């Protein structure tokens, strides 16, 4: 009698969810990335109780065809890549086809989506389809995730304080808004508006909406490029610092990433201008040929491998060093006159 058998798809999805859906902020990240990939110009995020009660993301993107909605909840089902070549040059934020089935296996999901005509409304709880109805014909997708981790008590216990979970949510939404200034974002938590961006393509406006107008006044723009990378962003004057690196946002081809080498390159650009233990506020958008980037390192795709990372780091340090040096010259020049 054989002892080895394939797991049920619901159980397999729950196992994948362990990696993809670590906490409420992971759900927010995956849903918002889907909305960005769907070419939305407006994304509205409404959260209750740090996301443990509910997370709703409404977009005005391309929507999902009626016959495809159930496929979207199958594991490794995606509209974004097809073959091996696509995997080596991913242009979308998603491509693994894991998020929706993972989320639906550990929560209660309601999705209303339409490509313009009559829409579809599905309700899936713990990986099981419980309801299917037509819905209104507003182009876009409206997805609500409730009772996250209702069937995985161990994961629920592992949640940090509501304020920590909320800060992880704002953190990812802020970064995605910085990376996509042409999309108008709103973020509301327990009826309080935490972010609203104009969608006019102005990164400075996004920074102002996040950090306040006082900070914007103390941030200076930089940009540069070499054969492989194009960079642009804002860095705070050395007088405006914070006690953690958390105010450094690195966006690579629209994806918010964690990358030690790039953060370090930004700090390098300050030379000896920062006090020990102090870090700048900085945002950087990097555009690279997708062939140079491997985002298939971890299911959350926040760690990526970058070819020519040293060249990129030098480009960043040199540009930031130059703009900061020029800033220092201005008071000197005034002095001399
Ligand atoms: P991935 O993003 O890796 O393709 P997901 O599980 O996140 O996998 O989504 C599965 C599919 O569902 C996507 O490939 C896309 O076709 C569709 N989809 C998900 N969210 C949206 C959305 N907001 N608008 C349009 N299509 C969506
Ligand atoms: Mg996705």
Domain annotation covers residue 32: yes
Q: Is 110 in the pocket of ligand 1 (CB under 6 A)?
A: no
Q: Is 81 in the pocket of ligand 1 (CB under 6 A)?
A: no
Residue-level pLDDT at 299:
84
Task: Report how far ligand 2's centroid is from the alpha carbon of 119 (Å).
Answer: 20
Q: Do residues 169 and 24 both lie within one domain?
A: yes
Sheet strands side by side (includes 54-59): 128-135, 119-125, 108-114, 140-146, 54-59, 42-48, 184-189, 192-196
Domain annotation covers residue 209: no
Cα-flanking dihedrals φ and ψ of residue 206, to 5°? Answer: -65, -45
Domain carrying residue 232: 218-332
User: What is the residue-level pLDDT of the chain in tens, covering all 337 positions?
Assistant: 889 999 988 888 888 888 889 999 999 999 999 999 999 999 999 999 999 999 999 999 999 999 999 999 999 999 999 998 888 888 999 999 999 999 999 999 999 999 999 999 999 999 999 999 999 989 999 999 999 999 999 889 989 999 999 999 999 999 999 999 999 999 999 999 999 999 999 999 999 999 999 999 999 999 999 999 999 999 999 999 999 999 999 999 999 999 999 999 999 999 999 999 999 999 999 999 999 999 988 888 888 999 999 999 999 999 999 999 998 655 544 544 4
Residue-level pLDDT at 336:
46
Residue-level pLDDT at 322:
96
Residue-level pLDDT at 151:
95
Q: Do residues 41 and 86 both lie within one domain?
A: yes
Q: Atom 18, ligand 1: which residue's CA is nearest?
A: 34
Residue-level pLDDT at 328:
65
Please report, for the domain that includes residue 277, its CATH number: 3.30.230.10
Q: Do residues 133 and 184 both lie within one domain?
A: yes
Q: Do residues 190 and 294 both lie within one domain?
A: no
Domain annotation covers residue 147: yes
What's the helix, strand, coil split of the chain in %, to 5?
40, 25, 35
Residue-level pLDDT at 335:
46
Task: Report how far ligand 1's centroid is from the alpha carbon of 5 (Å).
Answer: 29
Q: Do residues 278 and 154 both lie within one domain?
A: no
Please report, for the domain that includes residue 146, its CATH number: 3.30.565.10
Last residue of a domain, one of 143, 165, 196: 196
Nearest-ligand number for the alpha carbon of 96: 1
Q: Is 96 in the pocket of ligand 1 (CB under 6 A)?
A: yes
Task: Report how far ligand 2's centroid is from the alpha carbon of 203 (Å).
Answer: 24
Beta bridge partners of 249: 283
Residue-level pLDDT at 330:
55
pTM of the model: 0.94
The structural domain count of the chain equals 2
Mutate to test the pocket of ligand 1, among 12, 34, 40, 71 (most ligand atoms within 8 A of CB): 34
Q: Do residues 60 and 191 both lie within one domain?
A: yes
Mutate to test the pocket of ligand 1, among 37, 76, 296 (most ligand atoms within 8 A of CB): 37
Q: Do residues 112 and 24 both lie within one domain?
A: yes
Residue-level pLDDT at 331:
53
Q: Atom 13, ligand 1: which residue's CA is nearest?
A: 78
């Amino acid at each position: 009698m054989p002892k080895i058998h394939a797991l049920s798809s619901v159980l397999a999805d729950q196992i994948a969810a362990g990696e993809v859906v670590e906490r409420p902020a992971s759900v927010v990240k995956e849903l918002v990335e889907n909305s960005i990939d769907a070419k939305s110009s407006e994304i509205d995020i409404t959260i209750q109780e740090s996301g443990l009660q509910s997370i709703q993301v409404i977009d005005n993107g391309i929507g999902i065809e009626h016959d495809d909605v159930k496929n979207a909840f199958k594991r490794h089902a995606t509209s974004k890549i097809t073959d091996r070549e696509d995997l080596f040059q991913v242009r979308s934020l998603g491509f693994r086809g894991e998020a929706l089935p993972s989320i639906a296996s550990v929560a209660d999901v309601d999705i209303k989506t339409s490509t313009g005509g009559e829409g579809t409304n599905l309700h899936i709880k713990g990986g099981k389809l419980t309801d299917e109805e037509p819905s209104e014909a507003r182009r876009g997708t409206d997805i609500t995730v409730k009772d996250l981790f209702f069937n995985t008590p161990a994961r629920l216990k592992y949640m940090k304080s509501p304020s920590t979970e909320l800060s992880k949510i704002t953190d990812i939404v802020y970064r995605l808004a910085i990376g996509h200034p042409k999309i108008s974002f709103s973020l509301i938590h327990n009826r309080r508006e935490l972010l609203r961006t104009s969608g006019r393509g102005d990164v400075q406006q996004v920074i102002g909406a996040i950090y306040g107008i006082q900070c914007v006044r103390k941030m200076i723009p930089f940009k540069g490029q070499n054969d492989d990378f194009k960079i642009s962003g804002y860095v705070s004057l050395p007088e405006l610092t914070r006690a953690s690196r958390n105010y450094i946002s690195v966006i690579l081809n629209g994806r918010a990433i964690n990358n030690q080498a790039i953060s370090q390159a930004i700090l390098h650009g300050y030379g000896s201008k920062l006090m020990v233990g102090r870090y700048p506020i900085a945002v950087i958008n990097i555009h690279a040929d997708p062939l140079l980037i491997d985002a298939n390192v971890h299911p959350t795709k926040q760690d990526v491998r970058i070819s020519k990372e040293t060249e990129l780091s030098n480009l960043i340090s040199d540009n930031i060093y130059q703009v900061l040096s020029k800033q220092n010259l201005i008071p000197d020049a005034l002095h001399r006159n």
